[in-house]
Structure 1
Amino acid sequence: MCAIEEVEVAPAAEVEPSPPLPEAPSMAPPVYADLGKQARDVFGKGYHFGVLKLQCKGKTETGIEITAGGNNAIESGMFTGNLETKHKIPEYGLSFTEKWNTDNTLITEIASEDKVAKGLKFILSTAFAPQTGKKSGVLKSIYKTDGLSVNLDSSLDLGGPVVNGAGVVSYKSWLVGYQMAFDTAKSKLTKNNFAVGFTSSDFTLHTYANDGAEFGGSLYQTIKPELEGAVDLAWSAGSNITRFGIGCKYALDKDAAIRAKVNNSSQVGLTYQQKVSDGITLTLSTLIDGKNLNQGGHKVGLALELEA
């Protein structure tokens, strides 16, 4: 009889389960003051009516950012200038900003971010006018986390600080915000605002109600990669006045863009922006009063921005 050898069969290797797919990271919503910012930028950025503007930006070898500029009002000839320096210390999460303007006001800001807690930022801002000796200060705090942004500010006034607070909550694509201001000296609520919005990758809707007396909203949409459009609407219960405007921005190419806007007062704003070369941008603006085309009163503006 033949002997039958037993052959040991190695156990099958266990198959490890595939790791779960990473979830899409949640993001903090914008702070209350930035709700509807995309639409406001369409109506506000790039327009310099009635002024000649020069702005220069640069950065030193040590990392100090310097911004200097000035505006000259064409009609009155009044000139205003400003100078700003900013120094960052990333390893400590600190930044120091100093500002000066031709009103002879000195402003100093010290900011600390993500050091006390992740997403928490503190800003101490002080202002001093040497001619009058007037001093003021504000302590600001901003906290951002998944689905929530909160900011709380307080003026540094021993006679009774004014406390400003706001919060924005996001759920999927919806945003709900509240903003308030409380005068501790008078024990009175001086601001009571609500906002509701909807946002997606190419569309933003923002509505608000301020103190139960002013209501409005804005709509922003990226129609095409080179074309942005916005609509703004507001109504005041006290004066029963309605404001309405439509604006757009069209990029002709990577170096040139045109902007246009019109409101229900028949004011038409036009601007052409051209990047002349690296670090040099020229902007021409005009505001046309459609109700008085033949009577003048139209405004023009020119801005030159230099960045090194």
Structure 2
Amino acid sequence: MSVPIAIPVPLKFNVPPAFSDIGKTTNDLLSKDFPVGAAKLEVNTVTTNGVKFTVLGAKDNKTGAIASELKAKHIDKARGITFTESWTSSNILGTQLELDNTLARGLKVDIAASLLPAKGTKNLKAGVEYKQDHLFTRTSVDLFRGPTLHGDAVVANDGFLAGGEVAYDVSDARVTKYNLAFGYLGREYSVALHATNALSTFAASYFHRVNADVEAGAKATWVKSLDNTVHVEVGTKYFLDNDASLKAKVDNRGLLGLGYTQILRRGVKLSLGGLFDTTRFHENVHKLGLALTLEA
């Protein structure tokens, strides 16, 4: 007798972002496509039966150290099952199993494990994610660190977001982390406020899609334990055409970042980046880098 298989139904309701994704558009604008200080290579291939292979490599321009990782991801969209295996140049073996909308609509189960054979170091983390209209919650337990319970939740209404995050060490019976975030998501712009590190670090950010060719954003951060200085960073992205874009960012410490991304052909993307200290132009403190991504 055959057993019927439940086919996941795509979510159609208005789900808010995860707690870690509040302010993501600003963070991406100020950090992505600036491959400074290293030469990076990423190769992605997909087989006909849905297995995705990924090879990642990065060479540090200063030390010459090379780090790499090999991943194999098995995706079964019909059942909502994803199984990932990984092996790094540090000899860390990893596996991850994801069940998305398989057990219930809006429910995702994630189990991830890693092992370092040389030292016998192992890690096992299990998590549950639940999405619903105006709500996004996640709970996970790190079994070999504490164990530690971690949870976060975000509620939303009419574009306004409010979220919180907490971590609890079971063995020590104490809260090890708690953060808060608030934000607003609009069609053309978004803003976010964060209070992290036990409410000792405060950040405010905004992102604005000015038009089809220009994006702009800024972020201000104040660490309570240091001084009264606020770190401010502003950036912009300009789309030259469908295949090329320019990025620039600068902060109040005099660091200037420049990035250029070009799609050379379908499946081939090249990114060039530089970070320059404008207060010390004649010193060897500047950083350059590149990233090449291949997909087939």
**1:201 corresponds to which of 187, 210, 213:** 187
| Post-superposition CA distance 1:190-238 (Å, at most 9, x none) | 1111111011111110001121211111100101111111100110110
The secondary structure found in structure 2 opposite 1:291 is coil
Out of 237, 260, 264, the position equivalent to 1:272 is 260
CA distance in 1, matches of 2:252, 2:117: 44
1:282 to 2:283 alignment: no
Q: Distance in 2 between matches of 1:160 and 1:198?
A: 35
Count of aligned positions: 283
**Contact 2:50–2:76 (Cα < 8 Å) also in 1:** no
Partner of 1:70: 57
Mapped pair 1:30 → 2:17? yes
Q: Find 1:97's aligned residue among 84, 100, 106.
A: 84
2:9 maps to what in 1?
none
Show the counterpart of 1:6. none
- Aligned pair 1:234/2:221, yes or no? yes
Select which of 155, 158, 172 maps to 2:158. Answer: 172
CA-based RMSD: 1.2
Displacement of 1:91 in angstroms is: 2.7
Q: Which residue of 2 aligns with 1:186?
A: 172
- For residues 291 and 77 of structure 2, the distance between their equivalents in structure 1, rounded to whole angstroms, comes to 33
Residues 232-262 of structure 1: per-residue CA shift (max 9 Å, x gap):
0110110124211001111000010001111
Which position in structure 1 is the counterpart of 2:200?
213
Q: Does 1:263 align with 2:251?
A: yes
Q: Secondary structure at the match of 1:194?
A: strand
- Looking at CA atoms only, which structure, 1 or 2, has the larger radius of gyration? 1
What is the alpha-carbon distance in structure 2 between the residues aligned to residue 148 and residue 85 of structure 1? 32
Identity over aligned pairs, percent: 30
Match of 2:5 in 1: none
Cα offset, 1:90, TM superposition: 2.3
Q: Secondary structure of 1:186's partner?
A: coil
Residue equivalent to 1:39: 26
CA contact (8 A) 2:154 2:164 kept: yes
Letter in 1 for 2:203: G
Aligned to 1:114: 101
AA in 2 matched with 1:173: G
**TM-score after normalising by structure 1:** 0.90
Inter-partner Cα distance in structure 1 for 2:73 and 2:248: 33
Q: Aligned match of 1:79 in 49, 66, 70?
A: 66
Q: TM-score, normalised by structure 2?
A: 0.93
| CA distance in structure 2 between the aligned counterparts of 1:270 and 1:208, rounded to whole angstroms | 26
Secondary structure of the 1:69 match is: strand
Q: What is the SS of the residue equivalent to 2:29? A: helix
Q: Once the 2 structures are TM-superposed, how far is the Cα of residue 26 of structure 1 from its aligned partner? A: 4.1
Secondary structure of 1:61's counterpart equals: coil
Alignment partner, residue 155 of structure 1: 142
SS class of match (1:91): coil
**How far apart, in 2, do the equivalents of 1:200 and 1:215 lie?**
22
Q: Which amino acid aligns with 1:259?
A: K
